[in-house]
């Protein structure tokens, strides 16, 4: 599956501590754990001896110890001790199934494709080598912006339905009435959508927002840019009209109001085709609110989206353009569907 050649988020970094953690990615049970050097590992959650879940085991002296017969595994996956035969030197084939793991954006990321052929096929794709990289989040590099993670949220729908909702402005006045939109201004102006190596970029997206963020003190015409950065990841960047901003925000920025912007990354772990785990990574200029206030705002907004997302039928995103109805206001979502189809994505979609 092409999906396996991408990096996917699986857990908050801080949730992988001294003991193994069971997670799921693309329908596969995985175990995450840290060795003595604090390096994170992601393996199939299945002991190669008799198939017990490694996540039931323990980390001792930098090794993962299976709960069933106590086999010990080093960070490389190699079995180093079989307690029933203390003098036996396990051969190289006595090895756990390992995947690539790394940490970024406050999360642990895993890439399951270990066969070089699949990875090479991906690199050789006409859409370019961006697949091999983590989803881009350029706001991460900005020292002026504060970073906060929200989630996880488990949502009973496919990852592509959640990305599509994130790109959708026409629901603001209904689902987020009084917050990100209002029923008195529901028209969507023209916006531009361009294909990008990782998906698409939508620009000149404008929304009249009563409460675009925690510090908003007056409604504002907010301009959005959306980027699809991976099949199951997207970023929005908002540039509110500075004149509409409240004094708190002005003060927080000490005269840099015209540079006030925020980016929100949507990172989704596709657990099952119709079940997803969602995190948001906020990069905001708000230096006054607490982390929990920032999370509460995002929580309020996403709890408005969640029942709608879980109500959508079918849960898998239909890529056949005849399956649902489209208008020019939906051009970002239509472009996203075309992109997934072109990539050959199969997990969470109906081809
Ligand atoms: Fe893991 Fe036997 S099943 S040690
Ligand atoms: Co919404």
Q: Per-residue pLDDT tens for 148-168?
A: 999 999 999 999 999 999 999
Q: Nearest ligand, CA of residue 170? A: 2
pLDDT of residue 246: 52
Condensed to tens digits (0 to 9), the pLDDT of residues 300-311 reads 999 999 999 999
- Out of 52, 72, 79, mutate this one to test ligand 1's pocket (max ligand atoms within 8 Å of CB): namely 52
DSSP-derived secondary structure letter, 19: S
What residue owns the CA closest to ligand 1's atom 4?
Answer: 69
Rounded to the nearest whole angstrom, what is the distance from the C-alpha of residue 16 to the centroid of ligand 1? 22
Ligand nearest to the CA of 304: 2
Q: Tens place of pLDDT for every residue, the chain, 351 residues?
A: 889 999 999 999 999 999 999 999 999 999 999 999 999 999 999 999 999 999 999 999 999 999 999 999 999 999 999 999 999 999 999 999 999 999 999 999 999 985 545 555 555 554 444 456 899 999 999 988 999 999 999 999 999 999 999 999 999 999 999 999 999 999 999 999 999 999 999 999 999 999 888 888 888 889 999 999 999 999 999 986 655 555 545 444 444 444 568 899 999 999 999 999 999 999 998 889 999 999 999 999 999 999 999 999 999 999 998 999 999 999 999 999 999 999 999 999 998
Element holding 116 (H helix, E strand)? helix 116-123
Closest-lying ligand to the alpha carbon of 31?
A: 1
Give residue ranges with CB within 6 A of ligand 1. Answer: 47, 49-50, 52, 66, 68-69, 71
Q: Which ligand is nearest to the CA of 266?
A: 2
Measure 79 CA to ligand 1 centroid, in angstroms.
11
Residue with CA nearest ligand 1 atom 3: 50
Atom of ligand 1 nearest to the CA of 51: 3
Q: How far apart are CA 347 and CA 27, in angstroms?
A: 9
> Measured in angstroms, how far is the CA atom of residue 171 from the centroid of ligand 2?
7
Give residue 258's pLDDT: 40
pTM over 0.75: yes
pLDDT at 124: 52
What is residue 133's predicted lDDT score, i.e. its pLDDT? 85
Q: Residue 239's pLDDT is what?
A: 80
pLDDT at 256: 47
Residues with CB in 5 Å of ion ligand 2:
305
Contact by Cβ (8 Å): 328, 319: no
pLDDT (0 to 100) of residue 215: 84
Max CA separation in the chain (angstroms): 77
Return the axis-axis angle of helices 159-166 and 331-343, rounded to nearest 10°.
150
Which tokens is 196 given?
């990008």
pLDDT at 129: 46
**Residue 96: Cβ-neighbour burial (10 angstroms; 0-12, 13-18, 19+):** buried
Q: How far is the CA of 279 from the centre of ligand 2 (A)?
A: 14
Q: Omega of the bond prior to 161 within 30 degrees of 0, cis?
A: no
Point out the ligand 1 atom lying closest to the alpha carbon of residue 69: 4
Interval between CA 9 and ligand 1 midpoint (Å): 28
Continuous segment of H or E residues that includes residue 239: strand 233-240
Choosing from 71, 79, 81, 95 the residue with most ligand 1 atoms within 8 A of its CB, the one to mutate for a pocket test is 71
**d(C-alpha 201, C-alpha 229), whole Å:** 9
279: nearest Cα among 40, 8, 24: 8
């Amino acid at each position: 599956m092409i999906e396996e050649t991408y990096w996917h988020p699986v857990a908050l970094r801080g949730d992988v501590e001294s003991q193994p953690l069971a997670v799921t990615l693309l329908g596969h049970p995985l175990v995450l754990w840290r060795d003595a050097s604090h390096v994170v590992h992601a393996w199939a959650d299945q002991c190669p001896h008799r198939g017990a879940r490694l996540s039931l085991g323990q980390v001792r002296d930098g090794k993962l110890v299976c709960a069933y017969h106590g086999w010990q595994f080093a960070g490389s996956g190699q079995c180093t001790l079989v307690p029933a035969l203390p003098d036996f030197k396990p051969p190289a084939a006595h090895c756990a199934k390992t995947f690539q793991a790394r940490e970024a954006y406050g999360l642990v990321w895993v890439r399951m494709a270990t066969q070089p052929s699949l990875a090479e096929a991906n690199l050789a794709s006409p859409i370019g080598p961006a697949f091999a990289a983590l989803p881009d989040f350029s706001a991460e590099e900005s020292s002026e912006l504060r970073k906060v993670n929200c989630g996880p949220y488990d949502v009973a729908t496919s990852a592509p339905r959640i990305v599509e909702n994130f790109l959708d402005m026409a629901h603001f006045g209904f689902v987020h009435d009084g917050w990100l939109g209002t029923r008195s201004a529901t028209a969507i102006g023209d916006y531009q959508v361009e294909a990008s190596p990782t998906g698409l970029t939508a620009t000149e997206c404008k929304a009249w927002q009563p409460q675009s963020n925690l510090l908003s003190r007056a409604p504002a015409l907010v301009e959005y840019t959306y980027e699809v950065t991976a099949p199951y990841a997207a970023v929005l960047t908002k540039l509110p009209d500075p004149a509409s901003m409240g004094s708190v925000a002005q003060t927080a920025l000490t005269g840099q109001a015209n540079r006030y912007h925020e980016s929100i990354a949507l990172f989704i772990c596709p657990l099952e085709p119709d079940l997803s785990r969602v995190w948001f990574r906020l990069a905001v200029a708000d230096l006054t609110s607490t982390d929990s206030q920032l999370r509460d705002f995002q929580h309020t907004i996403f709890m408005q989206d969640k029942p709608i997302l879980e109500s959508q039928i079918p849960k898998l995103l239909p890529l056949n353009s005849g399956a649902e109805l489209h208008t020019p206001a939906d051009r970002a979502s239509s472009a996203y569907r075309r992109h997934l189809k072109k990539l050959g994505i199969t997990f969470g979609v109906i081809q």
